[in-house]
Structure 1
């Protein structure tokens, strides 16, 4: 029963705590989203111990009487001016220990922390049709957005003609550039300006706020990713006047990943309608194949109403394989 479960706030996460956290997450994901690779132990340890960008993290570990970890939850509290009303929840319960009230106790602890930290919106993600979706609905979260997850196999050849045509298409007045990790100083201001184009991405009914990017912030983001052992690749289209018109980012998790994760793709409003999004993404696929041949697939996700980017991804060869829902709980003021 739940009274035999101990909730422990983790003020400093040890190697043992991180390993226990990883075991719970891996068991939870294997049950709820089979076929989706869980984060590796090193990734989990870095996530729990390394600083995040413009946010801080609260964590709880739930253990049985014998000390075995049975559930975990993390609460990311955003701190930038445009998002300091917002918190993001991650909650996993080992399937062998569910339906005993542990998840509800962890959620109550997270909501109480949101009130203490004056957060009005708590968001989380759950796979469509999963126990997590039912849990969110039971506790009063409302569905705010649906995401379509897509995969692209890089070892297939039937889409290569489309990719080659997209990557080799001429775009007068624009040139491609790229980098690994931190943006070069000469491009930092232009990249930050382009980053602000992400503020008009579809977010459904989420009270997500917005973020203002500058050169220092894009450098800080790259440093956070590097510190946790991941690799960030960026390919961008630059206009003849020096404006960065669009870009795409790919994250390679630490180790030797076979699946890359799509990060941002954006085209600045003044440069839309020229096929630049398709161009930079096709160029990124070509770059991945050349520089990281061990990567065999890319995962991305798009809001289901982001019809333009979905069309771009399908044209490149991405195929839908699962859906998730973004949920939001409106937290009353204390």
Structure 2
């Protein structure tokens, strides 16, 4: 039976959209088992405008009995519209019952051509596995012409963590030099200008491996749009304020998504270079963990990713109790 690639529009409550998403979930479960990640149509639709992205959604349909069609592969192309507009992403999964039949190559070719047509010249994406040497996705990326640009460690922390253990780890920064502040589910207005500076620096200071990306253009309005407008994603952030200047000089955040409310994602953490050496990274992470356990006791795991070369941040996570649960490879391909 012939297969066809079809472009669709995602919608909350739409059975075709949910069937598309289930292909991704099934592929994840086959790789990660109990450690799999889950998402929802609601948050996928919410994320794109916040990140200044245009996403196109594709599905491979295979005819079944009596003419019924079922999705066997799913993908999205992710095109940026604010900076790095020539660099795109592809999120692609093939249902485990239909892998190694050429379906992934068929769908990837369609996604790549779509991005070429939209003016993109490079794809930068990632794949993960619970084994260090990689898995079938690693081989698929290499066979499709992608080169590895970075290796990230996935680290998980089981909750709850005893508060006494967190207190014992707390470096207790000199409060005449730095104070730690925490915001729940929205950032204070007075943070936004400084928070924009931190986000801009995050885009260039974080390890990016063998790929050049432009500095991101952040201002207070962009921070407000991402963090302070209604969203199904719950957020928590702690910052370090430099007392003599009153400026924010470090931050870390945690996200809880509706598709997986028992998991918190620790996404970005940054200490400005000129304020490193005062254990501020550890201090803001501990403040966030305390707030998370107080505000969201339903969360059972915190998950984060760091470049394997970022040994300082990996070591901080290990001190807190994080353990390595996977390896993520970042890939690039010139179109």
TM-score, normalisation: structure 1:
0.90
Provide the residue aligned with 1:16 in structure 2: 15
Distance 1:248 1:329, change over 3 A: same
Moved >6 Å (runs of 4+)? none
Provide the residue aligned with 2:78 in structure 1: 76
1:144-183 alignment, distance < 5 Å: 144-157=149-162, 163-167=166-170, 169-171=172-174, 172-183=176-187
Give me the whole-angstrom Cα distance separating, in 2, the residues matched to 1:223 and 1:329: 35
Unaligned runs of 5+ in 1: none
Q: Does 1:142 align with 2:142?
A: no
Give me the whole-angstrom Cα distance separating, in 2, the residues matched to 1:206 and 1:162: 39
Provide the residue aligned with 2:91 in structure 1: 90
Report if the CA contact (8 A) 1:197-1:267 is conserved: no
Report if the CA contact (8 A) 2:11-2:41 is conserved: no
Distance 1:298 1:328, change over 3 A: same
Distance 1:32 1:49, change over 3 A: same
User: What is the DSSP-based 3-state SS (H/G/I as helix, E as strand, rest coil) of the residue aligned with 1:233?
Assistant: strand
Q: Does 1:276 align with 2:280?
A: yes
1:140-289 alignment, distance < 5 Å: 140-157=145-162, 163-167=166-170, 169-171=172-174, 172-198=176-202, 199-223=204-228, 226-227=230-231, 229-240=232-243, 241-254=245-258, 257-289=261-293
Report if the CA contact (8 A) 2:87-2:121 is conserved: yes
Q: Does 1:31 align with 2:30?
A: yes
Q: Does 1:318 align with 2:322?
A: yes
User: What is the DSSP-based 3-state SS (H/G/I as helix, E as strand, rest coil) of the residue aligned with 1:113?
Assistant: helix
Provide the residue aligned with 2:311 in structure 1: 307
User: What is the DSSP-based 3-state SS (H/G/I as helix, E as strand, rest coil) of the residue aligned with 1:35?
Assistant: helix
Report if the CA contact (8 A) 2:38-2:260 is conserved: no
Give me the whole-angstrom Cα distance separating, in 1, the residues matched to 2:318 and 2:179: 24
Report if the CA contact (8 A) 2:76-2:90 is conserved: yes
Report if the CA contact (8 A) 1:248-1:280 is conserved: yes
Report if the CA contact (8 A) 2:75-2:93 is conserved: yes
Please state how far the C-alpha of 1:223 moved relative to its aligned partner: 4.9
Aligned length: 322
Give me the whole-angstrom Cα distance separating, in 2, the residues matched to 1:84 and 1:278: 34
Deviations 1:63-110 (Å, cap 9, x if unpaired)? 1112111110101101113x1111011000111112222111111111
Q: Does 1:121 align with 2:122?
A: yes
Unaligned runs of 5+ in 2: none
Give me the whole-angstrom Cα distance separating, in 1, the residues matched to 2:186 and 2:289: 20
Report if the CA contact (8 A) 1:13-1:49 is conserved: no
Report if the CA contact (8 A) 1:25-1:38 is conserved: no
Report if the CA contact (8 A) 1:191-1:215 is conserved: yes
Give me the whole-angstrom Cα distance separating, in 2, the residues matched to 1:207 and 1:50: 24
Provide the residue aligned with 2:44 in structure 1: 47
User: What is the DSSP-based 3-state SS (H/G/I as helix, E as strand, rest coil) of the residue aligned with 2:69?
Assistant: coil
Report if the CA contact (8 A) 1:150-1:301 is conserved: yes
Please state how far the C-alpha of 1:38 moved relative to its aligned partner: 3.2
Please state how far the C-alpha of 1:17 moved relative to its aligned partner: 2.3
RMSD: 1.9
Please state how far the C-alpha of 1:55 moved relative to its aligned partner: 1.2
User: What is the DSSP-based 3-state SS (H/G/I as helix, E as strand, rest coil) of the residue aligned with 2:215?
Assistant: coil
Distance 1:312 1:168, change over 3 A: closer
TM-score, normalisation: structure 2:
0.90
Provide the residue aligned with 2:62 in structure 1: 64
Q: Does 1:112 align with 2:113?
A: yes
